[in-house]
Structure 1
Amino acid sequence: MDATADTAADPTSDPAGDPTADPAGTLDEALQRLHTSGPERLGRLTNHAPMAVEALAAHGRSGAVHRWLDLYAPKLEEFPSPVEPVTGDNWREALGDPRRAADWIAYFGRQTGTGERPWRDVLAEWWPRLLPGMYGGSMHPVIRVGHAVRTLLASEPGDETEPRIAELAHGLGYWAARHHPVTGIAPLPQKPGTAAAALDAVEPITERDSGSFPARLGRVAGLPEWASGVTDPDEAHRALTDLVRAATHRYATHGHGEETMLVHASTAPNAVLRALPALPRTLWVPSLHAAWTASAAVTSMYAPDAPVAYTAPGTFAPEEVFERALAHGDEHVIKFADTALDVGDEQALTAALRAIEISEPLT
């Protein structure tokens, strides 16, 4: 798609959006609408709509939320049927069972919806349980949780709305159902100093031209031992920020390896970064290590044969780049542009424009 195309004529365009607020509660309406749908479709593909509409609302495009949802609606499926309630006694046997998605969502709905336990407490209890399995569902569950946490953190304490707390329950439930740890990845001896150098040192897997996400993940044999010596929470925060920036920048020259899947090299660690302020500081270091494994593994799984030079078709303000992502419509493009705006520099915006150019638009 031509990144310089006029977005004003696009039905999802919302050029008059207020970037500071969602006064009509549009996000809450959209989340309520989406909570009748399942977290997946076709038994394996993720429902991206909750993440995309949160990004639209966060960037002042609430007026486009329902129009975008109308375009995305054919990809939604009904909410799955429950199997057996998840409880404090049987949760371990239900962990990682995608058939139990409804059971897990109901469990976290009870945990967060009673008013007896603040959502932060539930998140802090379950984050270390779920973190080792953040690689299931192509890492979309943790990304969905990151979007939910960002919205809740933007609310005043005690003013978090029911749909937004319910969205966290849906995200955590999806994560628990798709919980999938990785094993057998050897730490490679090189220890690059920067995140960019570490990503450059990642070795591609064999047979990159075939296989599902889980199959490719199983072929990741080793990753550079980057940030393994980090023990201080503040240093972990800085390193994770560096990782998100480096992975976002890298997309501009490497995204053609797989234009959709490689966005997760930055959006997954960014979801973890967004959650850190809501988590105890003792969880920041293990969060960094898990996020590095996620970003590096995706880099290994979908690496192109060689980078290509890319020059942006112009210089654009952040809001203009996001408007172009909205006009394009693809859910991954919107979420990647959202992360690029978090990074905020010209290289990140260039990467977002590259994603718009090489990705198929939502029609």
Structure 2
Amino acid sequence: MDTTGTLDEALARLHNSGPERLGRLTNHAPMAVEALAAHGQAHSVHRWLDLYAPRLEEFPSGVEPVTDANWFSALGDPRRAADWIGYFEREVAERCWHDVLTHWWPRLLPGLYGGSTHPVIRVGHAVRTLLSGEITEPRLAELAHGLGYWAARHRPAAVASLPGADSAADALDAVPPVAVQEGGFSARFGRVRALPVWAPSVTEPSDAYRHLTELVRAATHRYATHGHGAETMLVHAATAPNAVLRALPALPQALWLPSLRTAWTASAAVTAMYAPAAPVAYTPPGTFTPEEVFERALAHGDEHVIKLTDTALDVGDEPALAAALRSMELSAPLE
């Protein structure tokens, strides 16, 4: 993890910006700069951020403070993003961040699907930083921004169950595409009616961790052959469950099983919403080390490429690196 102070500088710079732009698109900069710092690229953080800066919007205005008494009425209201972020900033200033995360995780988990799963991904990056290095004010504030964004975009899901499969890869193959694949995330998500059940017999927290790791691997591998269905959105089939996986070590084990269930639903739903007509075989343009693949992602610059590559390095095998390379071919570079 970065010890130069660059990540803290970048996060402090970004906290003057809102979690979204144009009323619906996510600010990916906090997640991307955390990934850069985590992989030894702190020296590139501000240069990358300068390129991304035109996409940032000012921090939104508040409506009414969120409190312990009125929080439920504000849950899932995107107009209250500033109010929620302010609430969590106060919380992490007064309490141990582990306690704040543990208290709010079961409240927020059912609404993981809001904001195209970006809020939980932002929280996952923030938790990794707090677990891996020094606990600083900008890093605590980043957790507050992620949790606040999650609360503001909270959106539950209710889907029927279909027969599943034993492995995560086979279960993803069994996901039926939504009937109409058009429109944005919110419209498509509303068309997800039923998804295969996966890992229903898991009862032990250690098994939940292992299965979630398997899901992240399978979804990452799958991108290499299916990413052409929606080069940006299918990234989240891997990065959303990986965000949950990154948070598990900071959470009581009693929360690991529901986290696995929700992460599976998110990954499967994204798979259904953006499925291509057919997979396409993919051969990487060569053999590269993980460090070389991440350097290529940085040179490409697209925020989703950086985040998928970050997840691919967590998986760490050649099919995962191939998926990262595929995302660079499919996605337009940041300019």
Indicate the TM-score class for this superposition, using the shorter chain for normalisation. Answer: over 0.9
- In the TM superposition, what is the alpha-carbon distance from 1:256 to its structure 2 partner? 0.1
* Correspondence list, 1:80-159, <5 A: 80-114=60-94, 117-155=95-133, 159=134
1:42 and 1:227 map into 2 onto residues whose CA distance is 38
Equivalent residues in 2 for 1:173-252 (5 A)?
173-183=148-158, 185-188=159-162, 190-208=163-181, 210-252=182-224
Task: Say whether residues 1:77 and 2:77 are aligned partners.
Answer: no
Q: How far apart are 1:23 and its partner, in Å?
A: 3.3
- Take 2:79 and 2:189, find their aligned partners in 1: how far apart are those partners? 21
Q: Share of identical aligned residues, percent? A: 75
Which residue identity does 1:186 align to in structure 2? A
1:255 aligned partner: 227
> Which residue is equivalent to 1:29?
9
Paired residue for 2:135? 160
Q: Secondary structure at the match of 1:225?
A: strand
Determine the C-alpha separation between the residues in 2 that align with 1:212 and 1:32.
31
Residue 274 (structure 2) aligns with = 302
Residue identity opposite 2:167 in structure 1: T
* Corresponding position of 2:237: 265
Q: 1:51 and 1:222 mapped to 2: Cα distance? A: 31
* Cα offsets for 1:183-217 (capped at 9, x unmatched): 2x1100x2300000000000000111x11101100
In the other structure, the counterpart of 1:335 is 307
Q: How many residues align?
A: 335
Distance 2:105 2:201 in 1: 22
**Hey, what's the Cα distance between the residues in 2 that align with 1:264 and 1:24?**
30
Matching residue of 1:16: none
How far did 1:228 drift? 2.1
| Aligned-partner Cα distance in 1 for 2:283–2:224 | 9
SS of equivalent to 2:161: strand
Alignment of 1:286-301 (within 5 A): 286-301=258-273
Which structure shows the higher helix fraction?
A: 2
Amino acid at match of 2:332: E
Give 1:171's aligned amino acid: G
**Letter matched to residue 191 of structure 1:** G
**Separation in 1, partners of 2:43, 2:264:** 36
Q: Name 1:10's counterpart in structure 2.
A: none
The CA deviation at 1:248 is 0.2
Name the amino acid aligned to 1:258.
A
Q: Distance in 2 between matches of 1:34 and 1:227?
A: 39
CA distance in 2, matches of 1:176, 1:353: 33
Task: Name the CA distance, whole Å, in 2 between partners of 1:66 and 1:169.
Answer: 22
Q: Cα offset for 1:113?
A: 1.2
- The reply on whether 1:358 has 2:321 as its aligned counterpart is no
Cα displacement (A) at 1:135? 0.2
TM-score normalized with structure 1 length: 0.92
| SS of structure 2 residue aligned to 1:231 | coil
Q: Which amino acid aligns with 2:119?
A: P
Calculate the TM-score normalised by the size of structure 2. 0.99
How far did residue 182 of structure 1 move? Answer: 1.0
Contact 2:237–2:266 under 8 Å retained in 1: yes
The alpha-carbon deviation at position 24 of structure 1 amounts to: 2.1
Tell me, in whole angstroms, the C-alpha distance in 1 between the residues paired with 2:160 and 2:2: 46
CA distance in 2 between counterparts of 1:304 and 1:61 reads: 34
8 Å CA contact 2:164, 2:174 repeated in 1: no
For structure 1, list consecutive stretches of 5 or more residues without a partner in the other structure: 1-20
Range that drifts further, 252-261 or 227-236: 227-236
CA distance in 2, matches of 1:40, 1:82: 14
What 5-or-longer segments of structure 2 have no aligned partner? none
For residue 65 of structure 1, the aligned residue among 30, 40, 45 is: 45
AA in 1 matched with 2:334: L
